[in-house]
Each structure stands twice: as C-alpha cells, then as structure tokens.
Amino acid sequence: MKTLVEFINDKQVEYPGATGEFTRLLNDITIAAKIVNREIRIAGLADINGLHGTTNIQGEEQKKLDVFANTHFIEALKHGGQCAAIASEENEDLIIFGNPYSQKGKYVVAMDPVDGSSNIEVNIPIGTIFSVFKRITKEGRPATVDDLLQPGREMVAAGYVLYGSSTTMVYTTGNGVNGFTYDPSVGLFFLSHPDMKLPDEGNTYSINEANYNYFPEGVKRFLNYCQEDDKPTHRPYSTRYVGSLVADVHRNMMRGGIFIYPGNQKNPMGKLRLLYECAPMAFIIEQAGGKASDGFKPILDIEPYDIHQRTPLFIGSRHMVEKAEEFMKEYSRELADFR
Ligand code: AHM
Ligand code: MG
C-alpha cells in the first residue's frame, strides 16, 4: 500500500533537478486537508456548524467551516514557504506571504477551501479544490495578481479533496490522475485509485434544473436530448445533483456523466469561479480523458482577468460534453462572443 507522501516523493525522483519544493507544497496541502477533514468529521458535535457572521467577496454568508478551512490552508502554505501568494474564494484580495521583498516561494495557489458550503449542515459531501501555478514574476520580489491570472493550461498541479462517505484526495501534475483514500485509523492517505480514467460516455447529467426557464436555448435543447427515448444510446439518462461540485464531478469521474452550470439570464457567466473551481476541475478531468468547456471553448484556454471571475461550465465525459457543445453552437451561438 503506497501512501500519498511516498507517491509524491517517488514522483519527484522522476524529475532530475527537482528541488523538492513542489513536493513540500503538495505535502502541506495534504496536512491542511487532514486537519479540515478532522473538523468536518465531528461537525454536529463540535461547534463548527452554522454561520460565521461575515460575508465573502461574492456577498455570500461565510460558514464557520469556510473560515476554519481557509485559515488552515493559508497557514499550512505560509509555513511551508514554497507558496508566494494565495487567491481564495474567501478573501477579496490576493494573500501575499512574508516580507514582500524577500519572497522565496516559486508557486502560487488558488483555492476554494470548502466547496458546497450549503451542504455542510445537512451532512452531505463537500470538498476542497486547489490549483497550483508557477509564478511568473521574479522570486525575491512580491508576487502579484498577474501570477494568478494565467490560463489553466499553465497550471502545474490541481486537485480536490472529497469529504464523502470516505475522504478522498484526487490530484494531477499533468501526467495522469491518481486518487488516495484517507485511513483515519493511521492518519494517512493511501493510493486507492491509480491512473483514473473517465468513461467517454455516461448516462447521468447533473444540473440545477430549477433554473430551466433562464437557461440558454442550447442547454434546454441538450436537456431535451438527455430526456429523449433512445435505447441504443441508453436515453433517457438519469439526473443526479448533489449541489457540491466536487461530489458531482467525482461521481462522473468514476462512472461517466456530465455536470453543467450554465450561464443564465440572471447571471450570464453562471455561478462557478474560474480560477479555483472550474479550471482545476477541468485540468483533472482532461487528464483523466474527459472534457471541460464553457459551451464553446475549453475552460483551460480562458485567459483570466480577475481572480474571482466566473464562467459557465460543461464538464465530464468527452462525448457528452461534445454533444452539449453542439447544441450550444447551434442554438446559443450569440453567447460565444460574449465570453
Ligand atoms: P460554494 O463554493 O459557495 O459552495 O458554491 C459552489 C457550489 C458548487 O459546489 C455547486 O456545484 C454549486 O455551488 C451549486 O449551486 P446551486 O445551489 O445554484 O445549484
Ligand atoms: Mg466554496
């Protein structure tokens, strides 16, 4: 049984000249994930449920667990010293570490410490999402927002932690995807899902259908397609919607399927954030053989202009995402230029 730490260390050996900094960074993320996991597992007993009494940059009320997880991930990365700055869903501004003129960290991180916050109190799976970039500004100088505003294709690593019936960490460094399950009795993640691959087809679609009336025509047509009777293609498909992106994407990762959070008339760019929700999930899914798009082009090709910007998301099994894109291109073409 290989542990996550052994796995990360073994990978480092494959890169001659590797300094171990990236390895340390990933290990720090793992440590924070374990601390957050411990807290989640006692939610309901400890006083960790409920509101923190503050709102984040998106005007959403922060839960106690949002704030707890955010603090622990920030602390872990700060003490490690490899990370020069963090963009977090919970902080309006970039968090820049240390004396700005003695920045040593080579990397910057974007993260959603607790994704699916609305599910915390009702004991439904939630997650953590992160992406890692190499900074483009010079080491030794303060990191800037430009270090984070890189297209997803430049990412050096991305991962998610799913706090579900078990706790699983899935990550990629651009060379396949591997999943690790946490064994609480020994406090270690073990490799449980080596070289994860997403089926090209699936028969599940996940979308918040309550917004149907506001969806673009292309999405409505795709949903009609999913609901049609057609034995050879196993339609009608099934709907599954947890309301935690990590859980919905992880299910599709294991079984195939598509997750959609489209733009709608009220929010043309949808709800989900590019840097710390959509792009890392897109990197993982592409590495596992799937596809992620904004309906017209790959999520990983989007040039970010704001650390908190949003994007529509179509993600999952390759053929299903391509089908959804066909409908978008045929019936909602006018939105393509809007993005
Ligand atoms: P959060 O980061 O504030 O928790 O919001 C993101 C979550 C995703 O996990 C999930 O897919 C989506 O919001 C659900 O939104 P909705 O309730 O509109 O369906
Ligand atoms: Mg969140």
Q: How far is the CA of 118 from the centre of ligand 2 (A)?
A: 9
Report the chain's mean pLDDT, rounded to a whole number. Answer: 92
Interacting residues of 246 by C-beta distance below 8 A, sequence separation 6+: 115, 116, 125, 126, 127, 128, 129, 160, 161, 162, 281
In the chain the domains, ranked by start, together with CATH numbers, are 4-193 (3.30.540.10), 204-338 (3.40.190.80)
Strand segments, DSSP code E, in 21-176 are 51-55, 61-63, 83-88, 95-96, 107-115, 126-134, 157-163, 167-172
What pLDDT is recorded for position 249?
Answer: 98
Sheet bearing 291-293, strands edge to edge: 238-239, 204-206, 258-261, 313-316, 291-293
Q: Which of 165, 265, 257 is nearest to 207 (CA)?
A: 257
Q: How far apart are CA 62 and CA 57, in angstroms?
A: 10
- Find the residues whose C-beta lies inside 6 A of ligand 1: 60, 89, 112, 115-117, 208, 243-245, 261, 271
What pLDDT is recorded for position 135?
Answer: 94
Q: How far apart are CA 120 and CA 43, in angstroms?
A: 8
Q: pTM score, two decimals?
A: 0.94
What pLDDT is recorded for position 159?
Answer: 97
Stretches where the chain sits below pLDDT 50 are: none
Q: How far apart are CA 50 and CA 216, in angstroms?
A: 35
What pLDDT is recorded for position 55?
Answer: 77
Which residue among 208, 240, 271 is best mutated to probe the pocket of ligand 1, counting the most ligand atoms within 8 A of its Cβ?
271
